[in-house]
Structure 1
Amino acid sequence: MSSSPLYKQLAKKIKQQIHNGELSEGDAIPSENKLAETYGVSRVTIRQAIDLLVSQELLRRVQGSGTYVSEKKIEHNIYHLQGFTEEMEQLKKKTINKVLCYELKHPDEKIRGILGLDEDDQTFFVSRLRYVDDKPVVFERTYLPVTLFPDLSYEVMQGSKYKFIEQQKKWRIKQSFQEIIPLLPDEEIRKLLSLKEGTPILKVRLWSTLENDVVFEYTELFFKSDDYKFTIVANRF
């Protein structure tokens, strides 16, 4: 007989069902009453087991609906310079880029300084809501100099701008400088990403350069922290 508490034994059984595919991402697990009946234990034990799996992010509770198997977070390696669409294609996920705003704009002084623009220079300002498997996961605001991209179109921004740059413009992208900031979103972003009030997000400010060191974009990205995680691989030598 195992010396492990009964709720931990039960949690282990449910965890095994998730790992072996009996329970898939997004599946609802049976009610507490049903689980108590199935395993011949009290609802208190069931609740403790579920609480443990929720704390381990294997299950998630939805108020008024039930308890579900958590979807795996999208893992992004910040040391790998890759466009969003490219990254999702490698993960075999369906993406949609919904363009919310596409216009000519004179950026503020800070953005002009990053992009190396004069006061009268214009940029294309594009905001996009980016979906993965029909769920909004990233909101993006990006500035692209008109002098570099006079041929930029609305249709291009419905796809991958990095593919446009490398495959159509035949330019090589060299590197990206990024800042990651956790914060609480404003009401606009909270609604766009379908977030509950008080849910934090990850904001990424970045500017990227071409092979000749010309900065070609300034972008702000807002990631859903419950769907996205950032990883860093650190080598000692």
Structure 2
Amino acid sequence: MKAAYLTIHDKIKDDIDAGIWKIGQRLPSERDLADDFAVSRMTLRQAITLLVEEGVLTRKVGSGTYVASTRVQEKMRGTTSFTEIIQLQGKNPSSHLLSYTKTLANDKEIDMLNLKVNEYVIRMERVRYADDIPVVYEVASIPEGLIKNVKKEDVTNHFFKALTENGYRIGKSHQTIFARLASDKVAKLLQIKKNQAILALRQVSYLEDGQAFEYVNSQYVGDRFEFYLENN
């Protein structure tokens, strides 16, 4: 039998997903919620604390508990650009380019992008934002030959759109997600604490003809971004 606090946790989360509780909305007091669920305040507090730890809710000292407003969701199906994901959430996407270099592909890039030895990649390092809040630090590697006729600003600002405008058709992607701790560099860039748990993502994206066009290593702030699966 499921613990009472987990039942409450699931109900509140389901209500948020269903739009009953809106993003940024303040929840009733713990006393009122405990009365609504007919449980003790301690049991109710366990459920709320778990939701806060998951980034679903956020506590504001002296104000109350609110539905988190800075988290972005990505559905793990198909291949979608970060810009499109953020826009679909009604937020404003932006990025800060840290580096953009043409360099010989390393062994991992050769393997992931199916390149030949001595082929070049464009390696792009940047921090990406939703409504000016840092969400992800990423390093993307792109076969240089694929984008030699594409302007740098088009690659850095709207890469997927630039590809489609140049006649390419976006296909599938392969993604691997795992947990890691934020390094000092990443923590500073994402404005979080060093060694804070973050979500790491390795992704290879392909064109419809099967050619790999991007290999990305990303590190997401867990309470600002979530991935979810949808099966057809």
- Give 1:60 deviation, angstroms: 2.8
What CA distance in whole angstroms lies between the structure 2 residues aligned with 1:20 and 1:203? 29
What CA distance in whole angstroms lies between the structure 1 residues aligned with 2:128 and 2:150? 19
Find the counterpart in structure 1 of residue 190 from structure 2. Answer: 193
What CA distance in whole angstroms lies between the structure 2 residues aligned with 1:20 and 1:207? 36
Find the counterpart in structure 2 of residue 202 from structure 1. Answer: 199
- Give 1:52 deviation, angstroms: 4.8
1:133 counterpart letter in structure 2 = D
1:198 counterpart letter in structure 2 = N
| Map 1:1-237 → 2, pairs under 5 A | 25=24, 52-57=47-52, 59-61=57-59, 69-72=66-69, 73-167=71-165, 169-234=166-231
Q: Secondary structure at the match of 1:160?
A: helix
How much is the aligned-residue C-alpha RMSD, in angstroms?
3.1
How many pairs align? 206
Is the contact between residue 95 and residue 133 of structure 1 (CA under 8 Å) also seen in structure 2? yes
Indicate the percent of aligned positions where both proteins have the same amino acid.
Answer: 22
Is the contact between residue 74 and residue 228 of structure 1 (CA under 8 Å) also seen in structure 2? yes
- TM-score w.r.t. length of structure 2: 0.75
1:99 counterpart letter in structure 2 = L
- TM-score w.r.t. length of structure 1: 0.73
- Give 1:197 deviation, angstroms: 3.2
Q: Secondary structure at the match of 1:216?
A: strand
Gaps of 5+ in 1: 1-7, 37-44
Deviations 1:209-231 (A, max 9, x none): 11221111111111111111111
Deviations 1:23-57 (A, max 9, x none): x7287x9xx9xx99xxxxxxxx9898666533333
1:60 counterpart letter in structure 2 = T
What CA distance in whole angstroms lies between the structure 1 residues aligned with 2:213 and 2:44? 51
- Give 1:234 deviation, angstroms: 3.2
Is the contact between residue 142 and residue 215 of structure 2 (CA under 8 Å) also seen in structure 1? yes
132-141 vs 153-162, greater mean Cα deviation: 153-162
What CA distance in whole angstroms lies between the structure 2 residues aligned with 1:194 and 1:26? 24
1:187 counterpart letter in structure 2 = D
Deviations 1:128-157 (A, max 9, x none): 111001100011111111111102333113
What CA distance in whole angstroms lies between the structure 2 residues aligned with 1:211 and 1:222? 26
- Give 1:59 deviation, angstroms: 4.2
Gaps of 5+ in 2: 1-7, 32-39
Larger radius of gyration: 1
